[in-house]
Amino acid sequence: MSAILEVTDLRKAYAGVHALDGVSFAVEAGSVTGLIGPNGSGKSTAIDCISGFQKLDSGKVVLAGADITGQPAHHNARAGLMRTFQTVRVYERLPLRDNLAIAAQQFDPATWVDELLRTARYRRAVEASEKRARQLIELIGLQRYYEAEVGILSYGQKKLVALAAALMPHPKIVVLDEPVAGVNPSRIREIEVALRQLNEAGETFLIVEHNVEFITNLCHRVIVLDQGRKLAEGTAHDIHNDSRVLEAYLGTTPEIAAAEMRAQA
């Protein structure tokens, strides 16, 4: 596999405090990569800067060989980097199918003139959108809610809707911000299964999450940040057995932390 996303020497400071202090890593195409760390480690700042919601002080972000450093979020989305947010953003009073159609419409080639005249290009865009929506809804396991208003779904199911919406334009990578935060345990399992199925279908993910068990069960590689720097990177097994990670992430001695992480797994 080759890297679809490469970030190099990311730096960001707020009033002299280094939120990111030379962070570098890569995400391989077709992988699920986790980004973890204690509160204040720089995770949220990193994905905000990578996706274009914040400006970097310095560093470089490359997406599929194209330099997107400093570009705004809408540019990066069109380049193929989509993201979700910790707070769910869906259209509560619209059916699930319409939520996904709106997500696709922002990226399809048809113009308002095509829609007005019902041109062949417009019809092709609608057909492709409906096909993609049905495919994704099946992969996330919400087929029976295709015509239902999204407002009736649980919080965890709405997170799946937001995930499917982000995938509608066939992005190169999706960055997920706390996908299981506030979700009950049974729904967490559903999200894990859906992400695994989507990854097997070829989707690439970078996931920021506090739930260590969720990350280590799902991710091919895990990156650990601490105080704005990359502390470690490796497989779930590597991270479980890294004394620096155990102490920094769980805030205790390596021996006690190791026991706690084993208990979580």
Sorted by where each starts, the structural domains of the chain and their CATH numbers stand as 3-264 (3.40.50.300)
Q: How confident is the model at residue 196 (pLDDT cuts 50, 70, 90)?
A: very high
For 14-72, the pLDDT digits (tens) are 988 899 999 999 999 999 999 998 888 999 999 999 999 999 999 999 999 999 999 99
pLDDT at 222 over 60: yes
Neighbours of 226 (CB within 10 A): 19
Q: Which amino acid is at 89?
A: R
What is the pLDDT at residue 263?
58
- Considering the entire predicted model, what is its pTM? 0.87
Q: What does each C-alpha distance from 144 to 85, 141, 199 come to in angstroms?
A: 25, 8, 22
For 234-261, the pLDDT digits (tens) are 998 888 788 777 777 655 545 555 555 5
Phi, psi of 5, deg, nearest 5: -135, 130
The rounded mean pLDDT for the chain is: 88
pLDDT at 223 over 90: yes
